[in-house]
Amino acid sequence: MSSSASNASLLSRSLSAVWHPCTQMKHHEQLPLIPIKRGEGAWLYDMDGKRYLDGISSWWVNLFGHANPRIGAALKNQLDTLEHVLLAGFTHEPVVELSERLAALTGHRLGHAFYASDGASATEIALKMSVHYWRNTGRPGKNRFVSLAGSYHGETVGALAVTDVAIFRDAYAPLVRGGTCVPTPDARLAEAGETAADVARRAAAALEAHLAAHADETAALIVEPLVQGASGMVMYDPEYLRLARGLCDRYQVHLVADEIAVGCGRSGSFFACEQAGIWPDFLLLSKGISGGYLPLSIVLTTDTVFEAFYDDDTARGFLHSHSYTGNPLACRAALATLDIFAQDDVIATNRAKAQRIGEAFRNALGGHPAVRHLRQQGMILAFDVADALAGFSRRFFAEALQRELLLRPIGNTVYTMPPYILGDDEIGFLASRCAAALEASLA
């Protein structure tokens, strides 16, 4: 078979045997799947050798490029030593070292690490732990959750209770015990003369009104610090997190910081919460923590929470588990990722890089009549497209692919969340091809 015939066969086999995520499969009648053969740095290469700049880090997970030699070497070493062992009754060096290093990164405020394999499970764990904490401390009535309008914390049935994205939730509404949505501090909501911090104060006042009336039944507030990712890279002022922390303390409600997308340096600091000078009661990591190599998620929490479960009584313990909890390969990938942060001074390097990305996009798109709210938080840049036609997002995606660029807009919001290893040439490429794809999809 010729290579293109074998590609065509792979695509049709994929469409009949693989049910792809986040996809109306019928759309693939028009939009071909892309068979990726290999990756290198910020680039993906398909079976025909065509390349694509991975402008979204393969769904926000990749930090230091595809086929990164340092992470690869650490994993190969781990593969020959221990691929997996259960974490109940057993332990191993990678999980201990990773837990200690993450605790140290929080200044030991969040010194207890609980493991799972994906982000939604981390959300579920934090929600369960919070409710179980209140039960163990004699307040079983505190079992409801508050989240922000437009929040996204995963798509399993429990996580949907705190996810406010209609397209992910509506079909399953009968399964979900809904929580309360309070107003988002979205900086775009600023009225004339208002700053982003003013919007944050307004949103915090609404949160306070809710907590004042419902603290007795509320276990936790869950937020995506600084950027609400999946609802369209909604950015907000850190003042909201400071005020929310104060209100959670005052009303005895846990604060859960879902840093699955914004953690690991994405927002400009290792943890986004650092920019508000606060620590949550639970901090969730996944996506970038393994460098984009293996499924891994982590819930970090405090001594106070841990101690409420520490008892002779089994049922007061946190009995949640997953088969691959604390997988040594995934932990090793995370340790190699943390090594790169330390060795390459990534947070400082990214600061300069983020500035260049911002300049490149302002130059390429700043004056464009359709571009609204060009915004940036660390290594996330986004803008909204005014008056886009229905189907804009898929059209833009296709136009970008034709220009060797992988970007997947969310509705009318175009964003990039690239790997941290982009060079200056690649930054220029990203901005100029994005601008060209925008022109083509508006035409």
Ligand X SMILES: *Cc1c(COP(=O)(O)O)cnc(C)c1O
Q: Which residues bind ligand X (CB under 6 A)?
A: 118-120, 123, 152-154, 224, 229-230, 258, 260-261, 286-287
How deeply is 431 buried, as exposed, middle or buried, from its count of CB atoms within 10 A (0-12, 13-18, 19+)?
buried
Residue 7 vs 376, nearer CB to ligand X:
376
Q: How far is the CB of 120 from ligand X (least distance, A)?
A: 3
Structure tokens at 230: 């999946």
Residue 154 vs 418, nearer CB to ligand X:
154
Q: How far is the CB of 139 from ligand X (least distance, A)?
A: 27
Q: How far is the CB of 117 from ligand X (least distance, A)?
A: 8
Residue 162 vs 405, nearer CB to ligand X:
162
Rounded to 10°, the helix 424-442/392-402 angle is 130
How many CA atoms does the CB half-sphere of 436 hold within 13 Å? 14
* Residue reference for tokens 């911002």: 358
CA angle 153/39/378 to nearest 5° reads: 45
Residue 186 vs 399, nearer CB to ligand X:
186
Q: How far is the CB of 287 from ligand X (least distance, A)?
A: 6
Residue 64 vs 152, nearer CB to ligand X:
152
Q: How far is the CB of 332 from ligand X (least distance, A)?
A: 19
Q: Which residue is nearest to ligand X (CB)?
A: 119
Secondary-structure percent of the chain, ordered helix, strand, coil, rounded to 5: 45, 15, 40
Strands of 60-182 (E only): list them: 112-116, 144-148, 180-182
Residue 260 vs 298, nearer CB to ligand X:
260
What is the rounded CA–CA span in Å between residue 195 and residue 191? 8
Q: How far is the CB of 160 from ligand X (least distance, A)?
A: 11
Q: How far is the CB of 98 from ligand X (least distance, A)?
A: 18
Q: How far is the CB of 420 from ligand X (least distance, A)?
A: 17
Residue 123 vs 130, nearer CB to ligand X:
123
Residue 231 vs 441, nearer CB to ligand X:
231
Residues near 207 by Cβ (< 8 Å), separated by ≥ 6? Answer: 146, 182, 183, 221, 243, 244, 247
Q: How far is CA 11 from the centre of its chain?
A: 29
Residue 247 vs 260, nearer CB to ligand X:
260
Residue 118 vs 239, nearer CB to ligand X:
118
- One-character DSSP codes across 340-404: HHHHTTHHHHHHHHHHHHHHHHHHHHTT-TTEEEEEEETTEEEEEETTPPTTHHHHHHHHHHHTT
Structure tokens at 27: 């759309």
Q: How far is the CB of 33 from ligand X (least distance, A)?
A: 20
Residues near 8 by Cβ (< 8 Å), separated by ≥ 6? Answer: none
Strands of 2-98 (E only): list them: 36-40, 43-46, 51-54
What is the rounded CA–CA span in Å between residue 266 and residue 337? 13
Report DSSP state, residue 322.
-
